[in-house]
Chains A and B, each alone.
Chain A
């Protein structure tokens, strides 16, 4: 075998090895996405049930991080720690959020008014509401690309039976917020909280505010 042939063989093997490494990196790591949970669909429409908790709980990698949870869409549904939600296109989506956290206050008070929901309102503890006091906002469910903004009122600091960390139950103090919005065509849309609620992180906007799976997520419209 000539020296030239040996060199060519070496180069070919090196190129193949690099290609395999790149392929594995793309297929195993880059294309990996968080667990998505589908909203439950019935005759009355599509229902997405969420909860916000002051801390993700001891079973989480970041036990003291504030976070969203989603209710699994089955009769024996249990809370799942994910912020990637799948909903149908061109549909009305009914969302119910149980907020167990106290208020942090909005940095931009403008976002204390609901936007993009059916009727421009949401239901807060049974009462139709347009806006809340910006200082009383605990969290927010906002999908900027769909113009959806809904502020979540915080549990009063005087609450007698607050939930400190997930899992929280409906017997503990919470605020119930529900609203409906309409999806357009298919796509992936980010959603986020606009309240600087990341306790202990610089200006309240680090940590869970910058991490998908806590106060940010993806809405998959399919």
Chain B
């Protein structure tokens, strides 16, 4: 009796497992991928993560199926002390390996580049963004310092606020900067993450599409209280936002008059004691 075609068996098992598992994983796990659907950019990241999940499932399954097959079929029986056949190069397998892995990597490179160029994917794009979504954006400046984020609204008299609220359905243009060391503005459920560097205006776009809270954290180790540099923002209705920003303007009117004119970056004058 001749040796069965092991490769054919493994491929057949892998195809069957992939055909069953991949749709299940994509349909059941995909919608639960981070970071949720609070903004268009977050939804885009959920889609990207689902694509990645759909790609990685057959790859992982191939490894598992191959491993299981080898463990079962090629396991030495009791009393057997036989050498297996010599392993030799296999040009066909090598070509398939190179073609398949190259195709996956090139596809991911093209897919990732397209997704980034489409809307910025919620990432900081520096002072001259390539992905510039159409529409009038609400400008919000994120000012980081050790160890708190504050927010400035240039179209509302330059008022600065200790917390962040955003109107639903409105394109928002964040300008992220720092007054001291490097921080990173991470609004998790919004799918926004942008480095905050002193003297740099890091622009990131986001369009909230649902109302609700979102967590804000610093994601760049920035000193003693880095772990405490967090807050909770809220996406609210346009009318609630109008009411909130009006209240902020009234509350902080005394200090707004003493703030420097709105600018993309700030270079606090040399401190008398610091430095």
Tell me which residues across on chain A come within 8 A of B269, comparing CB atoms.
105
Is the pair A203, B258 in contact by a Cβ cutoff of 8 Å? no
B108 to chain A, nearest CB (A): 40
Given A107-B179, A190-B225: A201 in contact with B274 (beta carbons within 8 A)? yes
Q: Give B198-238 as 1s and 0s: 1 = Cβ < 8 Å from A's Cβ atoms.
A: 00000000000000000000000001110010000000000
A194 at the interface (CB under 8 A from B): yes
Is the pair B273, A204 in contact by a Cβ cutoff of 8 Å? yes
User: A residues engaging B (CB < 8 A)?
Assistant: 102-105, 107-110, 112-113, 115, 120, 130-131, 133-134, 144-145, 147, 149, 190, 192, 194, 196-199, 201-205, 209-212, 216
Tell me which residues across on chain A come within 8 A of B271, comparing CB atoms.
104-105, 107, 196, 203-204
Is the pair B228, A144 in contact by a Cβ cutoff of 8 Å? yes
Majority DSSP secondary structure for residues of A touching B: mixed
Tell me which residues across on chain B come within 8 A of A199, comparing CB atoms.
273-274
A194 to B225, CA, bound (A): 12
Q: Which of B228, B254, B268 contacts A130 (CB 8 A)?
A: B254
Is the pair B274, A134 in contact by a Cβ cutoff of 8 Å? no
B83 to chain A, nearest CB (A): 32
B173 at the interface (CB under 8 A from A): no
A155 to chain B, nearest CB (A): 13
Q: Give B140-154 as 1s and 0s: 1 = Cβ < 8 Å from A's Cβ atoms.
A: 000101111010000
Q: Give B147-185 as 1s and 0s: 1 = Cβ < 8 Å from A's Cβ atoms.
A: 110100000000010100000000000000001110000
Is the pair A112, B255 in contact by a Cβ cutoff of 8 Å? yes
B151 to chain A, nearest CB (A): 10
Given A108-B179, A190-B228: A210 in contact with B272 (beta carbons within 8 A)? no
Tell me which residues across on chain B come within 8 A of A204, comparing CB atoms.
271, 273-275
Tell me which residues across on chain B come within 8 A of A210, comparing CB atoms.
223-224
B79 at the interface (CB under 8 A from A): no
B259 at the interface (CB under 8 A from A): yes
A109 to B255, CA, bound (A): 8
B252 at the interface (CB under 8 A from A): yes
Tell me which residues across on chain A come within 8 A of B251, comparing CB atoms.
120
Q: Which of A103, A192, A203, A216 contacts B272 (CB 8 A)?
A: A103
Q: List 11 A-B contacts (CB under 8 A).
A: A104-B273, A108-B143, A108-B145, A109-B260, A110-B252, A112-B255, A194-B148, A198-B273, A203-B271, A205-B181, A216-B224
Is the pair A113, B252 in contact by a Cβ cutoff of 8 Å? yes
Tell me which residues across on chain B come within 8 A of A104, comparing CB atoms.
271-274
Tell me which residues across on chain B come within 8 A of A113, comparing CB atoms.
252, 254-255
Tell me which residues across on chain B come within 8 A of A145, comparing CB atoms.
228
Given A144-B228, A202-B275, A204-B271: A108 in contact with B150 (beta carbons within 8 A)? yes
Tell me which residues across on chain B come within 8 A of A196, comparing CB atoms.
180, 271, 273-274
A128 to chain B, nearest CB (A): 12
Q: Which of A107, A134, A144, A192 contacts B258 (CB 8 A)?
A: A134
Is the pair B275, A105 in contact by a Cβ cutoff of 8 Å? no
Tell me which residues across on chain A come within 8 A of B143, comparing CB atoms.
108, 110
Given A104-B272, A120-B251: A112 in contact with B258 (beta carbons within 8 A)? yes
B94 to chain A, nearest CB (A): 45
Tell me which residues across on chain B come within 8 A of A110, comparing CB atoms.
143, 150, 160, 252, 255, 259
Tell me which residues across on chain B come within 8 A of A209, comparing CB atoms.
146, 224
Is the pair A203, B224 in contact by a Cβ cutoff of 8 Å? no
Q: Which of B29-52 contact A (CB under 8 A)?
A: none
A145 to B216, CA, bound (A): 13
Is the pair A133, B258 in contact by a Cβ cutoff of 8 Å? yes
Is the pair A115, B162 in contact by a Cβ cutoff of 8 Å? yes
User: 5 closest A-B pairs (Cβ-Cβ)?
Assistant: A204-B274, A113-B255, A196-B274, A199-B273, A110-B160
Given A115-B162, A210-B224, A216-B224: A131 in contact with B148 (beta carbons within 8 A)? no
Q: Which of A107, A131, A134, A211 contacts B224 (CB 8 A)?
A: A211
A147 to chain B, nearest CB (A): 7
A210 to B160, CA, bound (A): 26
Tell me which residues across on chain B come within 8 A of A107, comparing CB atoms.
145, 179-180, 268, 271
Is the pair B225, A197 in contact by a Cβ cutoff of 8 Å? no
Is the pair B145, A194 in contact by a Cβ cutoff of 8 Å? yes
A109 to B262, CA, bound (A): 12
Q: Which of B254, B258, B268, B273 contacts A197 (CB 8 A)?
A: B273
Residue of B nearest to A66 (CB): B273
